[in-house]
Amino acid sequence: MAGYTPDEKLRFDQLVKLRRLWLKDQELSAREPVLEAKPPGAIAKFWSGFLEPKNLWRIYTYKAYRGGVFALTRILIPAWGVHYYVKYHVAQRPYGIVEVKPKLFPGDTIMETGEVVPTLPETHGHH
């Protein structure tokens, strides 16, 4: 059997015609869209003005962004890496950068203020 039957051909032609009509209905006329355009809100106004080419705000924001990226990637992260390496791998003592203050006992003199640490009162408590 070759080709479509008369019923299949009629159905196929009807579908093709309906598809063409549907596609034609999708085209907008010069009057459409019928809805009026709303005036832009405050945020939309800000961004439309802010994103204009060669706008001063845009230029300075880009410069600040590039400066921040440079500072982070070329200064802060490498400085942190060097600090970590020196603190934990190069120092003679472990945690060598952190110094422990000397212990103070009664009768010792505080070097910064010159005060003498008072002796502890002797109590005869229940302990």
Establish if 21 belongs to a structural domain: no
DSSP, collapsed to helix, strand or coil, labels residue 96 as coil
Report pLDDT for 90. Answer: 78
Q: Which residues does residue 116 pair with via DSSP β-bridges, in sequence order? A: 109
Identify the pLDDT of residue 7.
Answer: 92
Confirm whether 46 is domain-assigned: yes
Whole-model pTM over 0.85: no
Q: Is residue 49 part of a domain?
A: yes
Q: Is 55 within the bounds of a domain?
A: yes
Q: Is residue 10 part of a domain?
A: no
Q: Is residue 44 part of a domain?
A: yes
The pLDDT value recorded for residue 67 is 96
Report the alpha-carbon distance of residue 29 to residue 25 in Å, rounded. 10
Instruction: Answer whether residue 76 is part of any domain.
Output: yes
Residue 16 lies in a domain: no
CA angle 60–66–67, rounded 5-degree value: 85
Contacts of 47 (CB under 8 A, 6+ apart): none
Q: Count structural domains, the chain.
A: 1
The pLDDT, as a whole number, for residue 3 is 82
Domain of 72? 39-96
CA distance 117 to 102: 13
pLDDT along the chain (127 residues), means of 10: 86 96 90 83 84 81 93 96 86 62 84 86 70
